[in-house]
Amino acid sequence: MDASNFDVNVTLGTYTISKKEITISYNIPHRIVYGDVYGLDYEITADANLAFNDYIELNNITNKDAGNYNIGVRINDENANDVSSNYIFDALATLYS
């Protein structure tokens, strides 16, 4: 390639990587009786594909003592690092007892 055929100008600037918007839905029993096995049978869906190999994780779902608990939603990358800050997401805050 002959460099004399090109006129290259570099302009300083910025680019922006925006957060991806998604809506997350999940179903999990809201009432559990002390001693029952739970926390393993639920489904999570999102209205858009997550980036790369990211995945959704529910947390605080395997408490065994009687009481009320809030379920949390987190988005992880393939190495289990929290990448939730790369997304704007709605997830219904669910309370179970």
Report how far residue 58's alpha carbon sits from residue 40's, in angstroms, rounded to the nearest whole number. Answer: 11
Q: What is the rounded (10 degree) CA torsion for 40, 96, 72, 62? A: -40
List of residues 6+ apart from 83 with CB closer than 8 A: 54, 75, 76, 77
Sheet hosting strand 20-27, strand order edge to edge: 43-46, 20-27, 87-91
Q: Give the tens place of pLDDT for each residue, 12-67.
A: 888 788 888 888 887 776 666 666 665 556 777 787 888 899 998 887 777 777 88
pLDDT tier for residue 92 given thresholds of 50, 70 and 90:
low
pTM equals 0.65
Question: In the numeric block, which tokens belong to residue 76?
Answer: 């992880």
Checking if the pLDDT of 93 tops 60, the result is no
